[in-house]
Amino acid sequence: MSGGAGFREGRLAIIAGGGRLPHDIAEAARGAGEDPFIVLLSGEADRDWSGFEHATVSVGDIAAVSALLRGKNLKRVVLSGSVKRRPEWRHLRPTLSSVVKLPSIVRTLFSGGDDTVLRMVIDLLEGEGCRIVGAQEIVPNLLATLGPLGRHAPSGEDLRDIAAGVAAADVLGALDIGQGAVAVGGRVVAVEGAEGTDSMLLRVAGLRAEGRISKRRRGVLVKLCKPQQDVRADLPTIGRSTVENAGHAGLAGIAVEAGRSLVLERDALVKAADEAGLFVIGIERAVRKDAT
């Protein structure tokens, strides 16, 4: 499924935030014959990168990234991993060509949802002559597929929870607020903002322990791609820890958007879900915003 030599212009760069996704992509890229160069975001990247050529830059250091892209002939860039902190404007180091955009950069950093910020980062990188490549273009089997991933499948009640979660995640995504929601017994009990999925699941576990969510209804986590987002960055992602946290929250399973979300450590995730009795399913949204 390689794109052919013609598409492999220059060297591949992976700009790496936190979590295991960037490392998985780097390994997969190497397996596909690439020699990826890793740009680690300081304070965010949290893996051992000693096996790969890499350099560390601070999140707002556009000048350092630009110098690396040119110096290492990096022409294709994967943006991957979590970025928890946004740079303060004082810490931005623009290039000469990006300095004119600085007011708009600062405005976007402070006011934009994650999606708006990512689009700005993509614009800046494209301005440096790079092509942005989705993680799924390097490791296509990361994409969630349609239907159950493991042994368990949603019940009729779970399907109703999925529908409720989809409705909530859909409007949240359209407002660029978040990608996830938890529905229990047909009712949305938690919606994801800046805190992230794991933190939301922890909250649901707490509400359950306090008796504020019925212990007799299980519920589901739904994660959807934002309708307007660039699918080359920040696709909804689940991993083994998502399954574990969903289990701690007493949920019956997890639904993600097929073809537009990433499943990390698929074998370990499926094994954990099978053992815990949770389903993990790739779904198509019934209603797409762009279809109305």
Site residues for its own copies per CB under 8 A? 84-86, 88, 110-113, 160, 167-168, 171-172, 175-178, 182, 185-191, 193-195, 199, 203, 206-207, 210-214, 216-217
Give least dist CB 82 to its own copies, A.
10
Q: How far is the CB of 211 from its own copies (least distance, A)?
A: 5
| CA max distance for the chain | 60
Of 185, 180, 136, 118, nearest to 157 (Cα)? 185
DSSP state at residue 212: S
Q: Which is nearer to its own copies, 217 or 266 (CB)?
A: 217
Q: How far is CA 90 from CA 3, 176, 217, in A?
A: 41, 25, 49
How far apart are CB 19 and its own copies at their closest, in Å? 15
Q: Give me 161's structure tokens.
A: 């929870």
Nearest Cα residue to 196 out of 210, 182, 183:
182
Two tokens, residue 52: 């790969």
Cα dihedral across residues 26, 30, 33, 34: positive or negative: positive
Which residue, 80 or 108, has its beta carbon nearer to its own copies? 108
Nearer to its own copies, 210 or 267 (CB): 210
Residue whose tokens read 């009729």: 156
| Closer by beta carbon to its own copies, 51 or else 193 | 193
Smallest distance, Å, CB 209 to its own copies?
A: 12
SS3 155: coil
> CB of 190: closest distance to its own copies in angstroms?
4
Judged by CB, which is closer to its own copies: 99, or 191?
191
